[in-house]
Amino acid sequence: MRHSLRTRIRSRKHFERLWGMMLVAKLKRLSLGLGLIFLAMAVLLISDLDSRHRNRLAAQGERSAEGSGKVWRVRVLEFVNVVDCEEAERGVFEGLEAAGVVRGKDFEATVLNAQGDMATLNSLVDSAITDRADLIITLSTPTLQAALQRAGTTPIVHTFVSNPLIAGVGKSDTDHRPNVTGAYGSSDCVGMMQIIKRVMPQAKRIGAISTPGEVNAVYNYELLVKAATAAGYELETVGANGPTEVGDAAQAVCGKRVDLLCVPNSNLVGTCYPSIAKAARQARLPVFGFFGNLNKQGAVLALARDYHDMGRDGGELAARVIRGESPANIPLKQSTRSKLVINLDAAKSLGLTIPSDLIKAADDVVGAE
């Protein structure tokens, strides 16, 4: 009896042990199956997320040049309303378009001009920041200076500038403020002296009007002084600091027995040139300058930087910023191409003969030979 009971107990324990082993084995197989199921679900989920991410990036790439779907708010700020500035502005938008950045799709732009008033210019910069502009494009040195002082870390691209380094942009084309890049180009004063020698070989004394209140004008005047001195000319200069002083300064310098006027670039000269032209006509003196539009206002000859091309360079740099490049990594670009513009009617009225090869080399000729 006891033996039979012990046998049954052992059999029961053996059965329970076998049953437990079978249960554990089933649970292991079940866990493995569930693990495989969850793994497959995870792979499908990750694959789906990756596919959605690629589709989203593709859609964003279609909506925006920078691939984020963002439409950049661009403010184009100008100081004076002159033909050369208009040419630079046109070049900016052509440069953006040529780089594949589309207005109305990748960016929206507002063009504002201060009409030569510094208080208005400061307000335009402040307004751009208040409107949360993503990029400010500046035309002219005063506009660049105002943006540098008031725009904080907002990206800035400059053009229509003689020398951005003297405006505070930085130390060199590659060592500049991290939020600024742009295009620039100074007057070819050396080339102008060579032209004057050919057109007026007897000339010895050159009259000029300086603008001490503009940092860019001071720089351009210094270039003129250096080039004229090296070419053997005497330079007579009268300064003007505002529109009401330009006419008197022009009359004063014309009275200094000069052979011609050679007017260095400044925003003041660009907007007040008619006063200079009037004084020069009364004194029967030819005017040579560095703004292309002066010839249509009576100047004999202008050797101007190609501000359209400079604007185009600025537009292409702005496109790189819109695409996501940091201005800190984009070197400044120096524009070196000049445009020769000749007014044959003005030359004839003063008894000047322009060499035929200069006429052929000119980019634009006003009047008939």
- pLDDT-derived band at 159 (thresholds 50, 70, 90) equals very high
pLDDT of residue 1: 46
Tell me the C-alpha distance between 254 and 180, whole Å. Answer: 41
Helices (H), the chain: 2-63, 83-98, 118-130, 141-150, 189-199, 215-230, 243-254, 267-283, 307-322, 344-349, 356-361
pLDDT of residue 249: 97
pLDDT of residue 295: 79
- pLDDT-derived band at 32 (thresholds 50, 70, 90) equals low
What's the average model confidence in pLDDT over 221-246? 97
What's the average model confidence in pLDDT over 46-68? 42
Tell me the C-alpha distance between 292 and 301, whole Å. Answer: 9
pLDDT of residue 369: 62
Tell me the C-alpha distance between 8 and 10, whole Å. Answer: 5
Contact between 290 and 187 under an 8 Å Cβ cutoff? The reply is yes
* pTM of the predicted model as reported, rounded to 2 decimal places: 0.79
Q: How far is residue 190 from each of residues 45, 225, 243, 290, 310, measured CA to CA in Å?
A: 69, 10, 28, 12, 20
pLDDT of residue 69: 74
pLDDT of residue 151: 97
pLDDT at residue 64 above 70? no
Contact between 161 and 141 under an 8 Å Cβ cutoff? The reply is yes
- Give the residue with greater pLDDT, 64 vs 110: 110
pLDDT of residue 15: 47
Q: How far is residue 299 from each of residues 25, 106, 289, 291, 296, measured CA to CA in Å?
A: 102, 42, 7, 10, 7
pLDDT of residue 270: 87
- pLDDT-derived band at 17 (thresholds 50, 70, 90) equals low
pLDDT of residue 292: 84
In the chain, the percentage of residues whose pLDDT exceeds 70 is 81
Q: What is the mean pLDDT of the chain?
A: 87
Contacts for 105 with CB less than 8 Å, ≥ 6 apart: 63, 64, 71
pLDDT of residue 269: 87
What's the average model confidence in pLDDT over 34-48? 48
Six-digit token string for 296:
């249509």
Burial 97-133 (b: 16+ CB within 10 A, else e): eebebeeeebbebeebbbebeeeebbebbeebeeeeb
- pLDDT (tens digit per residue) in 301-354: 999 999 999 999 999 999 999 999 999 999 999 988 999 999 999 999 999 999
pLDDT at residue 65 above 50? no
Q: ∠ at Cα 362 (360, 363), nearest 5°?
A: 125
- pLDDT (tens digit per residue) in 172-220: 999 999 999 999 999 999 999 999 999 999 999 999 999 999 999 999 9
What's the average model confidence in pLDDT over 5-26? 51
Contacts for 52 with CB less than 8 Å, ≥ 6 apart: none
Tell me the C-alpha distance between 287 and 343, whole Å. Answer: 10
